[in-house]
Structure 1
Amino acid sequence: MLNGSIYTYLSVFHAIAEQKSIAGAARKLETTSPSVSKSLKLLENYFGVSLVNRTTRRLELTEAGLYLLHNTQKPMSELEHTLERVKNFGQDISGIIRITTARYAYLTILKPYIGEFHHAYPDIQLEISVDNGMVDILKDSFDLGIRFEDRIDEHVIARQLLPSLTQGVFASKHYIHHYGKPKSPHDLKNHKLIGFRFATANRISPFFLQENGHKITVDMPVSLIVNDIDVAMDAIRQGTGIGRLFLINLLQEVDADQFIPILKPYWMKYPPVYLYYLKASKNSKRIQIFIEFIMGKMKQYAMQNL
């Protein structure tokens, strides 16, 4: 059994073959001649054959030594390159960052800044997956995720991007003209809801409001079921029913004033929004660059809008 790393002893052997002397190999490797001789001896003992013929004037490789040199030069070179690449892997500011995010978060947190980030770091590729359901970033091979605080695995690192978000209830002028405007949650049983169902769920997401400091569930007829915020907005615009929207998403719409707020005193607040990532990502320079970039943007956004 060869003691130590075979890679280390093969490196010594290659230096001996290149320098054609023990002393030359020692100088190249910045070590001592006895150390080089010992490494060569261990390698020969491992294979059970002589790799070098030593004379008083010169050093030559045996047939076995020539065979070993010829068949390990390319693999050793590739291995050295790979080891160096892995060593510097975390320091690269190039490569792919895979991000999973819910739709509401994409619209506010990522969409406005994708172009700016690309121009600042053109060698970093963002791969963005929009999914309103639960996502395991380790299992699904994502680098980062953006979700509500209560939907994050406790085993990841999480940093708050936005404070608690308010979900408003809206209808169009056309809808209110035809069906009237509800005055209390109890009136909603006579109205139509634009239901929201996550792609991974089997049922419509419950409609929650707050009344006297308590969360209440509202049951009402459903006119349309969607799984996308943009589709919900279109349905509200066209008077299909009453819909729920986060205020931060509505702020970006040019026709935001066409969405009539309903039952504002009863609106729900949801947990803060967090960016989360695996502990190993702390060592990746490109991921940390993106994290600091988006954290800075959200700090500015919160100061201006929240």
Structure 2
Amino acid sequence: MDPKTLRDAFSGLSVFFAVAHARSFTKAAARLGVSQTAVSHAVRALEARLGVSLLSRNSRNVTMTEAGEQLLANVAPQFEAIDTQLQALTELSNSPTGTIRITASDHAVRAVLMTKLKLFLPAHPGIKVELSTNSGFVDIVAERFDAGVRLGEAVAQDMIAVRIAADAPYAVVATPAYLQHHGMAQTPSDLLQHNCINLRLPTRGNLWAWEFAVDGREVNLRVDGQLVFNNTSEAVEAVLAGLGVAYLPAELVGQYVQSGQLLQMLEDFSPVWPGLHLYYPSRRQPSGAMALLIAALRV
């Protein structure tokens, strides 16, 4: 295969993989920074070279043919490995560069990542970090993230996990004014009589159960209240406004407990959760930029 044909084939493959992952020509074009027409032409040219149809197109969505599924499953991993190795070779003679895409909860971003990125990014001007906040469980391979951040117990076994924060106690908190009117909870079951601020997990769709340790056993309490959020930032604001009782990472509300803006309850019943971990696929060799970020985040 002559050099131009080889370049065209690799270009067509990268465009096809982008469309396959996004299930959309429009989203793939935005991700690649090119026009939708250019994406369509590249895919059609690849299909013509291979002599098979890779994608089925209609007015609503894009699906893969059997040949497209086979190409994605068998070639995409090798293609990504080649890209990683080429990036590594480039970094032998230059400062590491590239974009690192990470999915994390808003709590992880606020409590850990931003604090460490303030020191990391100025020291590595060639590295970009894209943070996508999501409280649900994201398939980082399918969504083309380089890494994710979750509590240690939530990391899949086929991932490499790097601890980036200590174990995390949770706290049940409310304002003094709220508790003066409704009373302090003495046991977890007392919370069933309170206006509790809930979190809904996007992936599962259900309300998150509050976990406590009672007489050496784990108790999952389904509480009720007027407010439900899908991340912790709004829950912090709501509890500070006196709108109910919240169950949140202690590091997010610790400053407000110390200042007296919030009071903590049920400390003897609140378990300690496994700390935050950065995780990435075990079969993927980290790029130079990713290796530097891992070293900066590791505790």
Report if TM-score (shorter chain) is over 0.5: yes
Which position in structure 2 is the counterpart of 1:288? 291
Q: Compute the displacement of 1:254 (Å).
A: 9.5
Residue identity matched to 2:144: S
Residue identity matched to 1:88: L
Ranges of 4+ aligned residues in structure 1 off by more than 4 Å: 84-87, 89-92, 252-256
**2:80 aligned with 1:108, yes or no?**
no
Equivalent residues of 1:282, 1:288 under 8 A apart: no
Which position in structure 1 is the counterpart of 2:89? 88
Equivalent residues of 2:172, 2:265 under 8 A apart: yes
Structure 1 pair 181–85 and aligned structure 2 pair: CA distance change class (3 A): closer
Distance 2:134 2:187 in 1: 33
Q: Compute the displacement of 1:195 (Å).
A: 0.7
Partner residue of 2:121 out of 118, 121, 146:
118
**2:271 aligned with 1:271, yes or no?**
no
Which position in structure 2 is the counterpart of 1:43? none
Distance 1:228 1:183 in 2: 27
1:69-218 counterparts in 2 under 5 A? 88-89=89-90, 91=92, 93-218=96-221
Residue identity matched to 1:230: S
Deviating more after overlay: 278-287 vs 227-236: 278-287
Q: Compute the displacement of 1:120 (Å).
A: 0.3
Structure 1 pair 253–129 and aligned structure 2 pair: CA distance change class (3 A): farther
Residue identity matched to 2:89: N
Residue identity matched to 1:136: D
Higher-Rg structure is 1
**TM-score (structure 2 length as normaliser):** 0.66
Gaps of 5+ in 2: 4-82
Equivalent residues of 2:257, 2:263 under 8 A apart: no
What secondary structure, in the 3-state scheme, does the structure 2 residue paired with 1:88 have? Answer: helix
Partner residue of 1:244 out of 235, 247, 253:
247
Q: Compute the displacement of 1:150 (Å).
A: 2.2
**TM-score (structure 1 length as normaliser):** 0.65
Equivalent residues of 1:166, 1:246 under 8 A apart: yes
Distance 2:257 2:125 in 1: 30
Equivalent residues of 2:96, 2:126 under 8 A apart: yes
Distance 2:180 2:296 in 1: 45
Across the two proteins, how many residue pairs are aligned to each other? 217
What secondary structure, in the 3-state scheme, does the structure 2 residue paired with 1:276 have? Answer: strand
Q: Compute the displacement of 1:94 (Å).
A: 0.7
1:218-237 counterparts in 2 under 5 A? 218-237=221-240
Distance 2:164 2:240 in 1: 29
Query: Once the two structures are aligned, what percentage of the paired residues are identical?
Result: 24
Structural RMSD (CA): 2.4
Which position in structure 2 is the counterpart of 1:70? none
Deviating more after overlay: 160-169 vs 253-262: 253-262
Residue identity matched to 2:276: V
